[in-house]
Structure 1
């Protein structure tokens, strides 16, 4: 029988003592103790060397392929400074510093040995990606889910990410999700980075209206600046994958590590992390480059005065009252979207007789059908059919 687990050292010692006796039949002793002769002679050799038959470490005396200790310490230092970063980002960071960076697999093994990483949960990462060919063609904007602060107030993080570069243009700790709040933050962003060609947003407040109307005062403000608005398909947040992914990163690298007392402290943390995200943190979708390497400010500056739409002198133009969303045409009042109260709209004939389009600059916002006597129908903006992520 093999060695008993409870007294294995004692059995080895007994075997050695018996085997060292004069005239002992060592092979027969091995058979009786239930061990292979090579094992018996091994224990005899160890006892004669240092009178020790306890188990020895099986770790090799040297590991010629083991990573240098200084490199391991640097890997762990980067990980400790950025606990949500994985092996690829850390390897890229060391390479950027001019250090002799080990392979990504080696970095992962260092993190695993040190207990810094665990096996990931969930399925495979998304592989289908859509990306604009240049910066500022499309910005993705959204509110991350609100977070409760230490003073029991709510923080609504407003995020704006450039579709091409993943550059974070705006990260603001807001107390609410009102259109006025977003407009105030965006004005500062526009003055710093210029104007995008379009925004990609969902259907919630303030870019969508709870009543079901897609036009909002906030969107009218963007249209005056020459910025288009593209809405994602309802119930399809994956179509705005870059913004959703940014929110997960924000959760992992900011909110998962601490709780903030108030909006001011949260904003200070946002400002510090935004620098890291844009200029230091390698991005996997950018081949481990940083977002700042692909971003350039827009050539369209924020105007000093908000432009108003211009119409030709021969067009039919109506002013919408500030308090009632109606325009007068052909002796009748026709309803228009509430967002255009106080604005000037043009009425242009459609291809069908008796039908007209109602336009705000070049954007059709409603229709008039004289043949049926129906009031203005709703004309929604473009709904995105973009690919996920």
Structure 2
């Protein structure tokens, strides 16, 4: 693929070469006609004589020999340490007496995944997936969050003063549902995680998704007590929804909603030193709207979840 300032495309190169080789044009005349140097005209004419039309494509700029390349034995040592110890380039370089940049180039050359993409327990690459349509799978989870006492917590008052108020503040339970395909989120701040609370939350979440044009097929949860209850099972069954549970001690299986939990902590719960729990909760609805409608999502190529939802604004109802 020629760069943006290249005077010749592959078709232009072929025309130039044919003028020189087939029609007998002098190199300087052909170079002037196609606005390139005589050296360039000679190069494409020579490739046409040798390779025909196939020679008009770009060749790799990689050198035939790389005498300063890291020795194969050293590359193998780098890969062995990476696989067995799961270390990053800096630690590997310190162990082997190499430059971290050299280690990084070797790891990149062999296509080894970033440490963030590996399961630390098994060293296997984490398989990332996305269901094909909204509603194919909805991730559901509960995030516990300490309430902010009146007057502010340690972020506003400092550790010592904030610790005195923390004990009487209590806890909140954020019930979250995130669509796997679109990342559209429905969330409520509730007082507990009992089965009745979880079932009621899902009924409202299901209504929200339905109004957005999403037909929920399956729901994925962890193995919390409320999700193993008969009430939760019956609530999903009544709506014709299949319930799936994650493997024990494998929260990454429910990764879409786990990532949503981290995002809301970073961008809402701990985004600024709130003075009261009421102040923080009042900011939540606005943040959730921003997340669904305006905040670019890296997994969606910078688009918000609303870009993948058929009827989020309700204009087709």
Q: Which structure features the higher share of strand residues?
A: 1
Q: Which structure features the higher share of helix residues?
A: 2
Larger gyration radius, structure 1 or structure 2: 1
Could you tell me the TM-score, scaled by structure 1's length? 0.41
